[in-house]
């Protein structure tokens, strides 16, 4: 079978970097997408170095793209598709916005949160789904959040956008499943990334997590890789939490 092509957004660091590297280990050709070409180049070099060490050939694509710019997103998808129809899309890029009460969130900030988290997914899916359907295969994983299932004070825009992304995930699964396309979500809880920094070791936070620790980007990447693989062929429209059991414990 021809080497699969995967688009991974937000691939320059953290969870996105881990996902890109994990998929590349399976021999997938990864299209790395984020705003910073320099950071993406570092990920590309790491993938190439690992591939050479394991005798695999890999040629990741680097595509700097502002996901709030629809024309740029369309152009990115079409550039990747010049090398073959992508059979995997992992929309990992996310924007939380500032921690604010709802009445303090500006319309511009609300639109940016939804632009990155939801509208970009819609545009990519609109461009990719017909080609995936023609090939009779396609796997989509949207990286949502545990905030797709709960509310959180100060994060109204983020919560609303992640709920919307999970709804989009399930709608695509229902609408395109009979054409060989699966669409699932991975919902990470607190994960050790630059975004949460030293908060990852805060005792109050850890007391809320049954596992007693935050997750790692690599653990989220394993969940994504599983959903992209043949072992998950019967899984469609699902939301897989990777949160150390936090949502399972009401803490009362």
Which domains does the chain show, CATH number per domain? 5-248 (3.40.50.720)
From the candidates 95, 122, 158, 190, which is the catalytic residue? Answer: 158
pLDDT of residue 1: 43
* pLDDT above 70: percentage of residues in the chain: 96
Beta-bridge partners for 61: 31
Average pLDDT, the chain: 94
pLDDT of residue 55: 63
pTM for the whole structure: 0.95
pLDDT of residue 57: 58
Active site residue 122: no
Give the residue ranges of the chain where pLDDT is below 50.
1
Residue 187: is it exposed, middle or buried by C-beta count within 10 angstroms (0-12/13-18/19+)? buried
Spatial CA neighbour of 92 closest among 197, 152, 22? 22
Phi (first) and psi of residue 142, to 5 degrees: -95, 125
């Amino acid at each position: 079978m021809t080497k699969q092509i995967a688009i991974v957004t937000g691939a320059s660091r953290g969870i996105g970097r881990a996902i890109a590297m994990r998929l590349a280990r399976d021999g997938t050709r990864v299209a790395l997408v984020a705003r910073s070409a320099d950071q993406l180049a570092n990920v590309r070099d790491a993938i190439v170095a690992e591939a050479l060490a394991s005798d695999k050939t890999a040629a990741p694509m680097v595509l700097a793209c502002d996901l709030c710019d629809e024309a740029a997103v369309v152009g990115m998808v079409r550039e990747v598709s010049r090398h073959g129809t992508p059979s995997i899309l992992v929309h990992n890029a996310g924007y939380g916005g500032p921690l604010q009460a709802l009445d303090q969130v500006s319309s511009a900030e609300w639109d940016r949160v939804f632009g990155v988290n939801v509208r970009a997914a819609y545009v990519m899916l609109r461009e990719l789904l017909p080609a995936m359907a023609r090939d009779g295969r396609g796997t989509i994983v949207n990286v949502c959040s545990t905030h797709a299932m709960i509310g959180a004070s100060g994060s109204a825009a983020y919560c609303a956008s992640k709920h919307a992304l999970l709804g989009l995930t399930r709608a695509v699964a229902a609408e395109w499943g009979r054409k060989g396309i699966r669409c699932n979500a991975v919902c990470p809880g607190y994960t050790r990334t630059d975004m949460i920094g030293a908060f990852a070791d805060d005792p109050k936070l850890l007391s809320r997590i049954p596992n007693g620790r935050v997750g790692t980007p690599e653990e989220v990447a394993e969940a994504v890789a599983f959903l992209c693989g043949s072992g998950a062929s019967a899984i469609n429209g699902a939301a897989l939490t990777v949160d150390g059991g936090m949502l399972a414990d009401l803490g009362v």
